């Protein structure tokens, strides 16, 4: 793991919502970063919160899902 720069901006985190596609494969950064969830979650909304070190995923605003 590469350590982020010590002088990174305070607002380096992002938060957004994504709908799970029928395949269950959710793309965060095209061609670079994706993850899979059970296909049974297709159509549900995930809230993604990420910074330079962490990725948190919430299903319908609920508890974190393991990634």
Structural domain that includes position 28: 14-59
In a domain, 8, yes or no: no
Instruction: In whole angstroms, give the CA distance from residue 42 to residue 36.
Output: 11
| Concatenated DSSP letters of 44-62 | -EEEEEE-SS-EEEEETT-
In a domain, 19, yes or no: yes
Per-run averaged pLDDT (10 residues), the chain, 67 residues:
54 86 90 90 91 85 58
Count of structural domains, the chain: 1
Q: What angle do CA 46, 47, 50 make, to 5 degrees?
A: 125
Q: What pLDDT, on a 0 to 100 scale, did the predictor assign at position 1?
A: 46
């Amino acid at each position: 793991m590469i350590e982020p720069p010590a002088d990174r901006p305070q607002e380096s985190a992002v938060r957004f919502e994504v709908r799970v596609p029928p395949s269950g494969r959710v793309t965060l950064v095209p061609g670079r970063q994706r993850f899979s969830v059970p296909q049974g979650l297709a159509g549900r909304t995930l809230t993604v919160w990420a910074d330079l070190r962490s990725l948190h995923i919430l299903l319908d605003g609920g508890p974190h899902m393991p990634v």
